[in-house]
Structures are given as structure tokens and as C-alpha cells.
Copies of this chain bind each other. A is one copy, B any other.
Amino acid sequence: MANDREGRETAQPILIVGSVAFDSVETPHGRAEMALGGSASYAGIAASYFATPRLVGIVGDDFAEHHMRKLSDHGVDVRGIERAAGKTFHWRGRYHENMKDRDTLETSLNVFEHFDPAIPEPYRSTPYVLLGNIDPKLQHSVLDQARDAKFVAMDTMNFWINTARESLLDVLQRIDLLFINDEEAMQLADQWSVVAAAETLLRMGPKYVVIKRGEHGALLFGSDITLFVPAVLLPDVVDPTGAGDTFAGGFMGQLSRTGSLDRPSLASALTWGTVLASFTVEAFSVDGIVGLGADAIAERRKQLVEMVRY
């Protein structure tokens, strides 16, 4: 896949801290059992198209070698994935017919319950950092260790807003960019509109807020920039799991490749993240984003950009 990654040589590495997990998912299109999942897996594979992702996470002794190889064969640096005695984090869920609502049937944290991210010494100076959707306490710990980070992004969700709000607000003051979905943005900011929520969140610390709206695209807000990218139009979605993590990974990968925060760089990060997420939802697990050809990705991005060319 070397041809998919012309820019990787110039891109700076990205430290990605999050979950590496097994997902068992049922959707109206079928099911996957104990398939590779987790925020770090999706984000890592997505980022690997643009840069070298360095994953930090934890798996159990049931995490077969072929799963690890799926990541490393894709250019993901897996030396920061700790292997602990016990079982790997397992999530089981079922999507409704509308492919948006879902029921969580089981969440077994297993070894993830005592995850205490230790950033390997050579990783501590990684310039780009993506804090996956984990306990804000762990996000703080990562930031304490990754002292040379020049751009830090984080993801979060309603669970942490509800249970660890104060700690989460503290993390917000230490980061550059927040990824958050629209409902959670309004919840965290206590606002009724996405625009008002973004303005409030920008005052809480991050320089940029990226609001994820699933099939309705994504918005980026900064003090002097507003960008919108629609989602890729898909006739069918097989499994939405991991779309947000893929988006964040692709975004950070492309951002590190450009090495800039100007408007074209932020816009291209948004579009590439969006394009990769569109491949994720077309298959179960990470199957949709493994081994994509450069042409397929570029063609889809062309369609996306064409749709808003007036």
C-alpha cells in the first residue's frame, strides 16, 4: 500500500490513545462476532493512510496475533499496546432499523478497566496527539507524559459528560481541538443550538471544535474560521460503528501531513476524515478501511467536493 501514502515521509507521527477492543455487532445487514474494534484501532488505521500512528492501548491474552498484525501490516506502530492477563475489552450492541439508534447489550471492560496508559519514552515527543474517548483522568495522564505535543485533539462522549464533568472541563483547557457529536456538544455546553454550543465550547479552552453530525456531515469552528463538510452520500450503511473514530484518525493524519493549521489544511483534514469514515460504515469492524487503494479514496473525495461546488 506504499502508493496510498506518498505523503507519509513528510508527515509527523501521531500518538493515539484509546481502546483496542472486540466488538460484537448486529445490524439489519448482518452481524459480526468478536471482531477487531475500539477507538484506537479505527483511528489508527485511518491515520495510517497519511502518517505513522503510534497506538497506546491495552489488550488481553485472548487478543490473537492476527489482530495485532492487521494493525501493524497497515503501518500502525503497535509497540505501545500493552498485553495484560485477562480478556480484551468487549462491546456488544444492536443497531435499529434506522441505523442510528442502538442498544448496548454488553460492555465488558475487562483489562481496559485498569488501563493506565504508560507512554513509551520514544513516544513522548510525538508532535500530534489524539486522545480517544476515554476517562478524562487518563487523558490528563497522557498529557502529563506527552510533554512535547504541539497539537492535541480529544474525543469524548455523554458518559464522561455525565460522570466526570469537572475533570473533562480541565482537559478541555489543555487541548487544541475537541471532537464531539452534536447532541453531546449541546449537552456539554448547555445550549440548544449547535452554533451556540460551539461558541461556548471554544470559550472553555480548545482553539477548534469539530462537531460530528453523522450522516449530516461535520462542522469545524475556530475563532476566525467556520467550515462544513457534508457526509459522503451512501446508498447503504452496513455498520456505523467506528465512523467517528475513523473520522478523527483520518483528520489528524491529514493534518499532520500538511503540518499546518491554515484554512486549506483544516479543510482537507475534514474532507479526508469524512471520506475514510464513509468506507468504515460500509462494512463490519475495520474491514471497510483496511487496504483501500489511493484511487478509491481520491475518487470518493472528488465526489464529496464536487457536491458543494457551486
Contact = CB atoms under 8 A, between A and B. Distances in A.
Interface in A84-102: 97-99
Interface stretch (A17-25, A202-210, A228-236): A228-236
Interface string A272-310: 000000000000000000000000000000010111111
Interface string A151-189: 000000000000000000000000000000000000000
A193 B97 CA distance: 11
Nearest to A98: B192
A227 B196 contact: no
A264 interface: yes
Nearest to A264: B310
A138 interface: no
A307 B216 contact: no
B237 A217 contact: no
B193 A236 contact: yes
A267 B310 contact: yes
B193 A227 contact: no
A307 B227 contact: yes
Interface residues of A, number: 35
B230 A230 contact: yes
**Identical subunits present:** 2
Interface of A: 97-99, 192-196, 199, 213, 216-217, 219, 226-230, 233-237, 264, 267-268, 270-271, 303, 305-310
A222 to B, nearest CB: 13
B97 A236 contact: no
Contacts of A199: 235
A216 B182 CA distance: 12
B308 A235 contact: no
Contacts of A229: 308, 310
A228 B97 contact: no
Contacts of A226: 233, 303, 306-307
A255 to B, nearest CB: 14
Contact of A195 (B217, B235, B264): B235
A193 B234 contact: yes
Contacts of A270: 310
Contact of A237 (B193, B271, B310): B193
Contacts of A192: 97-99, 236
22 contacts: A97-B192, A98-B192, A192-B236, A193-B234, A193-B235, A194-B233, A195-B233, A213-B216, A216-B217, A226-B233, A226-B303, A226-B307, A227-B307, A227-B308, A228-B230, A228-B308, A230-B308, A267-B310, A270-B310, A271-B310, A305-B310, A308-B308
